């Protein structure tokens, strides 16, 4: 059983010229993001005011069999690898959960279902040490990009997966949220129309900007100092949630928060926040915004990516994820001049 420890943070930093892919590779591997913020000085807003992004999610309900039929009918592996999908309204540590990322299907299956499936998996990190079989969870991963070839070659998991979906869990309904692609949307529309208990709806969300007003700004020149790293992460977090404590005119009762009194600021400056929230955000959108900010010649900018808590993989290397201690699965970065700092915040049991 994973020990009950608090979230932990991995910090890296240096010169952008020496670590060109440092932030980019982390953003690229952050699998499931449902909130993104970019904070910049308002005086430089005109450099990024042209940013216009609109993303779309599909929310649908159906069986595993329908999901597999729709996903496996995607003809392009490139499009298949764009699909990010999660089953929602479930507890990833104790219930049957499904996700797809980078063409990898990950299922965490309760033991009473797993032992009927014939699939080959491994005991979940969140079950190890448990003595009762009926409380164990097993993790099964299958590469969908090679599925048809594996099926023809009688790969056990490929063959058993379809049988499992059509027989063992044929009546179990899942609610999914997914980044849409043209083929997936078309396939789902055709298949879900045939299911009486199924539904499909589309949700759109945009990149919005918000004026944070005049804020207290600490020293944002990166330092290899524990106190500076901790306090700067806290400041970026307050800015990302539009915390009034950053304002020179903050009237928050000190019994609620005395952060404004403790903040050591060097200057005061108006800030603007760009934000996307309300669904799974395509990695391509996040990378586009980061590249635009990096190439705009800004004095500094900070970004934060908040990962979905209810997912069965964490960012990095498709590691297991749970939300025993709130399920932190986040990335925060500061770029100031030619230097950067990157914070990777993960939950108990996760590794970045």
Specify whether 124 is located in the same domain as 191.
yes
Among 117-121, 135-139, 297-301, name the one with the lowest average pLDDT. Answer: 135-139
pLDDT tens for 6-19 read: 678 889 999 998 88
Question: What angle do helix axes 156-163 and 64-72 make, rounded to 10 degrees?
Answer: 130
Specify whether 217 is located in the same domain as 241.
yes
Q: Is residue 351 part of a domain?
A: no
Highest-confidence segment of 82-91, 101-110, 249-258, 261-270: 101-110
What's residue 195's pLDDT?
A: 58
Question: How many degrees, rounded to 5, is the angle at CA 26 between CA 3 and CA 323?
Answer: 30
Q: What percent of the chain has pLDDT over 70?
A: 88
Q: How far apart are CA 70 and CA 165, in angstroms?
A: 13
What's residue 21's pLDDT?
A: 79
Specify whether 172 is located in the same domain as 223.
no
Specify the DSSP class assigned to residue 103.
T
* 148, burial (CB in 10 Å: exposed 0-12, middle 13-18, buried 19+): exposed
Q: Is residue 2 part of a domain?
A: no
Among 100-104, 113-117, 136-140, 255-259, name the one with the lowest average pLDDT. Answer: 255-259
Q: Which residue has the higher pLDDT, 186 or 339?
A: 339
pLDDT tens for 287-335 read: 999 999 999 999 999 999 999 887 888 886 657 876 666 678 899 999 9
Specify whether 84 is located in the same domain as 201.
yes
Specify whether 323 is located in the same domain as 192.
no
In the predicted structure, residue 1 carries a pLDDT above the cut 50: no
pLDDT bin (cut points 50, 70, 90) of residue 122 is very high
Helix (H, G, I), strand (E, B) or coil at 322: coil
Highest-confidence segment of 72-86, 115-129, 174-188, 292-306: 292-306
Q: Which residue, of 156, 187, 205, is where some domain finishes? A: 205
Specify whether 46 is located in the same domain as 99.
no
Any residues with CB less than 8 A from the CB of 193 and at least 6 apart, and which? Answer: none
pTM tops 0.75, yes or no:
yes
Q: How far apart are CA 177 and CA 259, in angstroms?
A: 37
Q: Which residue, of 145, 180, 205, is where some domain finishes? A: 205
Specify whether 144 is located in the same domain as 187.
yes
Q: How far apart are CA 149 and CA 147, in angstroms?
A: 5
Range of the domain at 75: 56-205
Centroid of chain to Cα 216: 30
> Positive or negative, the Cα torsion across 123, 80, 82, 197?
negative
> Number of structural domains, the chain?
2
Number of H helices, E strands in the chain: 10, 15
pLDDT tens for 170-221 read: 999 999 999 988 888 888 888 886 655 678 888 888 889 999 999 889 999 9
- Mean pLDDT along residues 110-130: 86
Specify whether 308 is located in the same domain as 276.
yes
Question: How many degrees, rounded to 5, is the angle at CA 299 between CA 9 and CA 244?
Answer: 60
Cβ–Cβ contacts within 10 Å for residue 16, how many?
14
Q: Which residue has the higher pLDDT, 146 or 328?
A: 146
Q: What percent of the chain has pLDDT over 90?
A: 56
């Amino acid at each position: 059983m994973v020990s009950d420890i608090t979230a932990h943070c991995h910090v890296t930093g240096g010169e952008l010229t020496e670590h060109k892919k440092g932030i980019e590779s982390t953003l690229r591997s952050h699998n499931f993001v449902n909130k993104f913020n970019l904070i910049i000085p308002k005086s430089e807003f005109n450099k990024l005011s042209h940013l216009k992004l609109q993303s779309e999610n599909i929310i649908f309900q159906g069986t595993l069999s329908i999901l597999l039929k729709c996903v496996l009918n995607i003809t392009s592996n490139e499009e298949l690898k764009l699909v990010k999908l999660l089953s929602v309204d479930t507890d990833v540590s104790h219930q049957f959960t499904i996700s797809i990322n980078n063409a990898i299907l990950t299922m965490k299956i309760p033991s009473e279902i797993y032992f009927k499936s014939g699939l080959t998996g491994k005991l979940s990190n969140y079950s190890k040490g448990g003595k009762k079989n009926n409380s164990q969870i097993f993790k099964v991963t299958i590469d969908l990009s090679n599925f048809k070839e594996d099926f023809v070659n009688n790969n056990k998991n490929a063959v058993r997966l379809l049988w499992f979906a059509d027989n063992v869990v044929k009546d179990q309904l899942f609610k999914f949220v997914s980044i849409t692609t043209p083929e997936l949307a078309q396939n789902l529309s055709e298949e879900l129309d045939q299911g009486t208990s199924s539904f499909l709806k589309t949700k759109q969300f945009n990149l919005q900007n918000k004026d944070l007003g005049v804020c207290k700004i600490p020293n944002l020149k990166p330092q290899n100092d524990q106190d500076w790293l901790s306090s700067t992460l806290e400041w970026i977090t307050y800015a990302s949630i539009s915390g009034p404590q950053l304002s020179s005119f903050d009237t928050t009762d000190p019994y609620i928060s005395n952060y404004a009194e403790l903040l050591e600021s060097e200057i005061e400056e108006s800030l603007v926040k760009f934000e996307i929230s309300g669904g799974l955000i395509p990695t391509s959108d996040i990378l586009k915004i980061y590249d635009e900010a990096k190439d705009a010649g800004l004095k500094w900018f900070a970004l934060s990516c908040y990962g979905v808590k209810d997912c069965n993989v964490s960012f990095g290397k498709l590691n297991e994820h749970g939300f025993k201690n709130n399920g932190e699965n986040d990335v925060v970065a500061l770029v100031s001049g030619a230097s950067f700092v990157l914070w990777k915040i993960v939950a108990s049991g996760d590794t970045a």
